[in-house]
Amino acid sequence: MKEQLNEIKMSYSTHYRTHSCGELRAIDAGKEVILCGWIQKIRNLGGMSFIDLRDRYGITQLTCNSETNVDLHQKVQNFGREWVIQIKGIVAERYNKNSNIPTGDIEIMLTEVTVLSVSDTPPFTIEDNSDGGDELRMKYRYLDLRREIPKNNLLFRHQLGIEIRNYMNNISFVEIETPFLVKSTPEGARDFVVPSRVNNGEFYALPQSPQTFKQLLMLSGYDRYFQIVKCFRDEDLRADRQPEFTQIDCEMSFVEQEDILNTFEGLIKHIFHKIKQIDIDPIERMSYEDAMKLYGSDKPDTRFEMQFVELNEYLQHKDFSVFNNAELIIGIVAADCGHYTRKQLDELVEFVKRPQVGASGLVYILCNEDGSFKSSVDKFYDQADLQKVATQCNAKKGDLILLMNGKKDQVREQLSQLRLEMGTRLGLRKKGTYKLLWVTDFPLLEWDEETNRFYAKHHPFTAPKPEHEALLESAPEKVNANAYDLVINGTEIGGGSIRIHNSDLQKRMFRVLGFSDEEAIYQFGFLINAFRFGAPPHGGIAFGFDRLCSVLSDYDTIRDFIAFPKNNSARDVMLDSPSTISELQLKELGLKL
C-alpha cells in the first residue's frame, strides 16, 4: 500500500506547476519544470543552498549555487520553514543520490523563485518524529496533516473508501444519502440534539445510524442500499471513541442471514485482497453462546487459542469454600509459563484486582517439569486433584493454569481480560496477522438489573428467529435473533441483523421493551405504519469505517484515520468546540426568554 501511495502522481499540470514534488526521476534530467510546495528544510553548505520542497506527492531537492546565480542564492537565504514557493528550474541527475526517497536521483537547479506565502515558524516540526505533543498537533491539525504519517493514513482511508464503493457498485448496491436532522428516540445511545429555531421548543436529533431510513428504502424497493455515512452518538467517554464516526451502512431485501454473510464476506475478502494483498480464508463462525463460553467475550481475539475450561466438577469436592460457593470456576492454560516466579504471578493477581477487571483474586497451578504441581491452593487440593484439573485443561508439563471463579457472566468477563493480557504478554496478538470471525445467534434481548426491563441487544428492529417468535412474551430471555457481528482480531468491526418487516411483530417487540402502544406509535409510528404498505423481508449490516481503517493498518486508534478528530474529552481543540453561543442565538432558538 505504501508503495502504491508513493506512486500517486499529479495527473495533470496547471499554470502554477508542471509537476508534483514526488514525480521527477533521472530520465527527466534536462527538463525545465515548475514546482510549487512548502519548504521542509533549507541547508546552506558553502556556496550552495539546498531546499527540500514538499507537497502531498513527495519531496524534491532544489539547489542554488552562489557562483552561478548570486541574486537567487541571496534571496533564498531569507526563506523560512513552511513558506510556500513556486520555483522554476532544470532537472539534473544528482551526484549524491538519496535512495530513501523516490525523487532521490535528481535535484532541480533553480532559475527562478516566487514566494507565494510566508509562514510563521510552525509550533512543531513537520517531520515523522515531530517534537509536537498530541494536544499541540491536534490544535494545529492542519499542520500535522502535512506530515507523512497522518497524510498516508488519510490516503489509506480514501483508497479503502474507493475500493468499497467500487465493489458495492459492481454488485448493484446504490449509495443513497439519508438526513442528518432526524428525530430523537429513546433507544440506543444518547442523542446529540439540535434545537429548532423555526419550531421553538422542538429539537432534531443527529442520527446514531441511518437504521430506520435504510429499512424504509427497502420498502421503497431499493433492494441493495449502502452509504458511507457519519453517525453521531453522545456516549460516555471511553478511550478511542469519537462522538462522530463513519459507518459503511448496508441493507438488502429478499435475503436470509446466509445471503448477508456471504455478500459481505465477499466485500471483506475484496478489501483484504486489494488493500493488504492478503487472500483470507473463509471466515469462521461461532455462536454467541460458544464465544461467551470459550472466550468470555462476544468479540474474541482468535489470533490465539487459550480457550476457557469449565472446572466446577473438578474443584468443588474439597473444603475450599471460595470455589464451593462459586457459580462458575474457569481456567486457561498459559503454555510454557510453568516457570513463572512469585513476582510474575503476583503481577497477574494485581492485574485481575485492578478496578477495570474487578476480580477478588486468582488461583494458579504451576505444572512442573517433573510432573508435580505447585499451586496457590495446595492447602485444599492434593497432587491427584491438580492432575485431574491439568488433564481436563490439556495442560502439559511446564505450563501454567490460571483459574478464576465467581458469578457466570462476571467471571467470564474477568477471565477474558486476563486471557487478553496473557496473549499480549506472550506475544500471541501479533500485528500483521488477521483472524476474522462471524459471531452469530445473538440473544434478541438483554435484561437490565438497574432499570428492571429488557433492552434490545442489537436494536428494536431486529427480528426474533422465526422458530423463537412464539416465546417473545412468555420467555423473552430465550429468544435468539439472526443477528451477527464481524470480529477482526478481537475488535468488533461490524454488526447487523435480519429485521422485523411486519407491523404486528414490531408492535409486539416494542411492548416487550416496555413501550405502550401509544409511545411506540409516537416514536416509531412512521416505521410501523410503513410496514402496512408492502414491506419486503430484509436485513443488513453496518461496519465501522474508521475502525476498519485502523485494524487494517495495525493501529490501536481510530483518531489517526480521521482528518479532524475530537480528543478524549469529546472536544475539538482546534475549533475550541463545544462552545457557548450568544444570548441572541439562545433567544432565537427558544432556549432563553
- Positions that interact with ligand ASP (CB under 6 A): 209, 211, 495-497, 540-542
Residue 256 neighbours by CB under 8 Å, 6+ apart: 482, 498, 539
When the beta carbons of 267 and 420 are compared against ligand ASP, the nearer one is: 267
**Contact predicate 230/563, CB 8 Å:** no
Mapping DSSP onto H, E and C, the string for 48-96 reads EEEEEEEECCEEEEEEEECCCCHHHHHHHCCCCCCCEEEEEEEEEECCC
When the beta carbons of 490 and 495 are compared against ligand ASP, the nearer one is: 495
**Contact predicate 308/296, CB 8 Å:** yes
When the beta carbons of 333 and 542 are compared against ligand ASP, the nearer one is: 542
**Contact predicate 87/62, CB 8 Å:** yes
Which triple of cell numbers denotes residue 390? 491439568
CA 555 to chain centre: 9
When the beta carbons of 80 and 266 are compared against ligand ASP, the nearer one is: 266
Which triple of cell numbers denotes residue 505? 411483530
When the beta carbons of 83 and 232 are compared against ligand ASP, the nearer one is: 232
What is the side-by-side strand order in the sheet with 400-406? Answer: 309-310, 328-334, 400-406, 363-367, 373-375
- Residue with the three cell numbers 433567544: 587
Whole-number minimum distance, CB 459 to ligand ASP, in Å?
Answer: 6
Mapping DSSP onto H, E and C, the string for 507-521 reads HHHHHHCCCCHHHHH
Whole-number minimum distance, CB 549 to ligand ASP, in Å?
Answer: 17
**Contact predicate 72/109, CB 8 Å:** no
Residue 2 neighbours by CB under 8 Å, 6+ apart: 152
- Helix-helix angle 288-295:408-425, to 10 degrees: 60
Whole-number minimum distance, CB 260 to ligand ASP, in Å?
Answer: 10
Whole-number minimum distance, CB 497 to ligand ASP, in Å?
Answer: 5
Whole-number minimum distance, CB 180 to ligand ASP, in Å?
Answer: 15
Q: Is the peptide bond before 578 cis (omega within 30 degrees of 0)?
A: yes
Bridge partners, 440 (sequence order):
287
When the beta carbons of 243 and 540 are compared against ligand ASP, the nearer one is: 540
d(CA 180, CA 170): 27
When the beta carbons of 58 and 540 are compared against ligand ASP, the nearer one is: 540
When the beta carbons of 93 and 187 are compared against ligand ASP, the nearer one is: 187
When the beta carbons of 246 and 553 are compared against ligand ASP, the nearer one is: 246
**Type and span of the H or E element at 123:** none
Residue 477: phi, psi to the nearest 5? -70, -15
Residue type, position 363, single letter: V
**Contact predicate 551/491, CB 8 Å:** yes
Whole-number minimum distance, CB 251 to ligand ASP, in Å?
Answer: 7
Whole-number minimum distance, CB 224 to ligand ASP, in Å?
Answer: 14
When the beta carbons of 153 and 209 are compared against ligand ASP, the nearer one is: 209
Residue 216: how many CA atoms within 13 Å on its side-chain side? 15
Greatest alpha-carbon pair distance for the chain in Å reads 94
Whole-number minimum distance, CB 249 to ligand ASP, in Å?
Answer: 6
When the beta carbons of 104 and 539 are compared against ligand ASP, the nearer one is: 539
Residue type, position 94, single letter: R
**Contact predicate 47/73, CB 8 Å:** yes
Whole-number minimum distance, CB 474 to ligand ASP, in Å?
Answer: 26
Which triple of cell numbers denotes residue 579? 462552545
CA 465 to chain centre: 29
When the beta carbons of 415 and 493 are compared against ligand ASP, the nearer one is: 493
